[in-house]
Amino acid sequence: MRKLRHRFLAPMVAVSALAVSLAACGGDGGGTAGSSASASQPGEKIKLTVALFSDFHYAPLYEAFKKTHPNVEIVERRSQFNDHHTNLITQLTTGAGAADVVAVEGGYIGAFTPVPDKFYNLKDYGLERRKSEYLDWKWQLGVSNDGSSLMGLGTDVGGLAMCYRPDLFKKAGLPADRDEVSALWPTWDAYIETGKKFVAAKVAGAKFTDGPGEHFRAMVEQAPVGFYDDQYKIVAGTNPEVRKAYDMSVKIVDEGLSAKLAAFTPPWNTGIAKGTFATMVCPAWKTGTIKDQKPGEGAWDIAAVPGGGGNQGGTHLMLPKQGKHPKEAAELIDLLTNKESQIMLFKEASALPSLPALYDDPAVADYVNPYFGNAPIGKIFTSAAKALKPQHVGPKAGDVLLAFNNGLQRVEQGKQNAEEAWTQALKDVGRIK
């Protein structure tokens, strides 16, 4: 027994020595972090990190900010869309690693509005004064569920439109001019009727649309109530609007309109470039996606979305409590979301402003995009955003949508009929906690 204890003594000493030194390191780190938490002194160097999920084209705005804040250094961090939001949740939970300013996309914001204590209240930094500038529903998305805290300022909204291929429309004997095309489909029913005509014309190598998933999302988001009610309870199974959207999407499949391509997959990208489908649901930011596939200037044009108006996506900027310089960070997001910045970002990055006053500003309203056959994208997208009825976005709206999209794909691939796929989708939704 004695011998045994001796034998273990040495390694124990070694281990505890290491442990002490590790603890010392940890303590050091905590110390510096603690000291910098105090209010910043004039002239002190401050570093602000901004976490985004793609290129927001903010670089010139950072420069503008540095003119009034010479002591601030801004570092941008970008990660993949899916990872970005999961990372943020992990960082908030573990209490470390969050950036000073974080971007949160519309589908995810509902995950954060129930926990205002994890973020700075922007009211404390005087940003409540911006309220009158904003689209009301966009402003509300950034307010905590209990209404006590202003958690984020909106950047852009994803006004909806329908992108289409004029060449394929001509081949099918349909009108190709964008106003006439918009007139073809005031409703989703009319959209499907147009699709039937397209199918009847038997255009070689082309279907009418990519797949039903994005249409389903657009229809749900056009409804006054979507997957969640205003108490943030999932009502996807009982809301008749969801069922209506689902049935309409199944119809798109049944009538043979779909090219069976899920959005954002490589074959879908190829389809955009080669024109294997003639229409796709198109939020403002998707015009950038189309351009990236290089289908050629004028290959795609933009018409109004059926059902009038709608929004898909759009982002808020928020300040996690972990940040040490909330005052400067709040000033930064004030600048990033002001009128001039939003106009600049609309031109640079197709980010549709969330300030309705800009919709009548000639810089936005009269903006035409040469790549889309000089389509007046300013007018199209702003009228979609104006016509939108706001909706409560629930915390797991993204997961609910995925369950239904999987169901629609099972129908599309002939694995289940519409009813079976609906039942299983609801079962999947039921597992979401």
Partner 1 sequence: MATRAPDRLAAVPPDGPVRSRHRLRRHLVHQLDVKGSPYAYVAPFFLLFSAFGLFPLAYTAWVSLHEWTLLSDEHTFVGLDNFRALLADDYFWNATFNTLSIGVLSTAPQLLLAIWLAHLLNRPLRAQTFFRVTLLLPNVTSVVAVVVIFSQLFGRDFGVINWMLGWFGVDGVAWNEGVATSHVAISVMIMWRWTGYNALIFLAAMQAVPRELYEAATLDGASGATQLRKITIPMIRPTIIFVVITSTIGAMQVLAEPLLFGTYSISGGPDRQYQTLSLLIYENFTKLDFGYASAISWMMFVFIVLVAGVNYLLTRRAKGGLT
Residues forming contacts to partner 1 in the complex (CB under 8 A) are: 6-7, 9-11, 13-15, 18, 82, 86, 89-90, 92-93, 111, 114-115, 118, 260, 262, 264-267, 270-271, 274, 276, 396, 399, 402, 405-410, 413, 415-416, 432-433
Burial environment of residue 293 by CB neighbours within 10 A (0 to 12, 13 to 18, 19 or more): middle
Contact 99, 320 (CB under 8 A): yes
Neighbouring C-beta atoms of residue 368, cutoff 10 Å: 12
Between 129 and 431, name the residue whose CB sits nearer to partner 1: 431
Which residues, 6+ apart, have CB-to-CB distance to 120 below 8 Å? 319, 320, 321, 323, 326, 329, 330
Name the 3-class secondary structure at 101.
strand
| Shortest distance (Å) from residue 14 CB to partner 1 | 4
Query: Beta strands 315-318 and 352-353: pairing type?
Result: unpaired
User: What are φ and ψ of residue 166, in 5° steps?
Assistant: -60, -35
| Shortest distance (Å) from residue 403 CB to partner 1 | 8
Q: Among candidates 250, 269, 267, which has minimal Cα distance to 258?
A: 250
| Shortest distance (Å) from residue 395 CB to partner 1 | 9
Between 111 and 344, name the residue whose CB sits nearer to partner 1: 111
Integer Cα distance of 17 and 23 in angstroms: 10
Give DSSP secondary structure letters for 279-341: EEEEETTHHHHHHHT---TTSSEEEPPTTS--B---EEEE-BTT-S-HHHHHHHHHHHTSHHH
Between 89 and 387, name the residue whose CB sits nearer to partner 1: 89
Instruction: Tell me the two tokens of residue 230.
Output: 């205003």
Between 18 and 37, name the residue whose CB sits nearer to partner 1: 18
Between 361 and 399, name the residue whose CB sits nearer to partner 1: 399
Q: Among candidates 311, 262, 318, which has minimal Cα distance to 135?
A: 311
Name the 3-class secondary structure at 50.
strand
Which residues, 6+ apart, have CB-to-CB distance to 361 below 8 Å? 343
State the distance between the two ends of the chain, measured CA to CA, in whole angstroms: 53
| Shortest distance (Å) from residue 191 CB to partner 1 | 23
| Shortest distance (Å) from residue 95 CB to partner 1 | 11
Between 86 and 238, name the residue whose CB sits nearer to partner 1: 86
| Shortest distance (Å) from residue 277 CB to partner 1 | 11
| Shortest distance (Å) from residue 268 CB to partner 1 | 9
Between 102 and 157, name the residue whose CB sits nearer to partner 1: 102
Integer Cα distance of 318 and 51 in angstroms: 10
Q: Count of alpha carbons within 13 Å of 358, Cβ hemisphere only?
A: 29
Q: Among candidates 432, 1, 8, which has minimal Cα distance to 232?
A: 432
| Shortest distance (Å) from residue 261 CB to partner 1 | 8
Between 148 and 413, name the residue whose CB sits nearer to partner 1: 413
Between 110 and 226, name the residue whose CB sits nearer to partner 1: 110
Using only C-alpha atoms, what is the Rg of the chain? 25
Burial environment of residue 54 by CB neighbours within 10 A (0 to 12, 13 to 18, 19 or more): middle
Between 108 and 185, name the residue whose CB sits nearer to partner 1: 108
**Coarse DSSP helix, strand, coil percentages of the chain, rounded to the nearest 5 percent:** 50, 15, 35
| Shortest distance (Å) from residue 420 CB to partner 1 | 11
Neighbouring C-beta atoms of residue 388, cutoff 10 Å: 21
| Shortest distance (Å) from residue 204 CB to partner 1 | 14
| Shortest distance (Å) from residue 299 CB to partner 1 | 17
Between 26 and 126, name the residue whose CB sits nearer to partner 1: 26
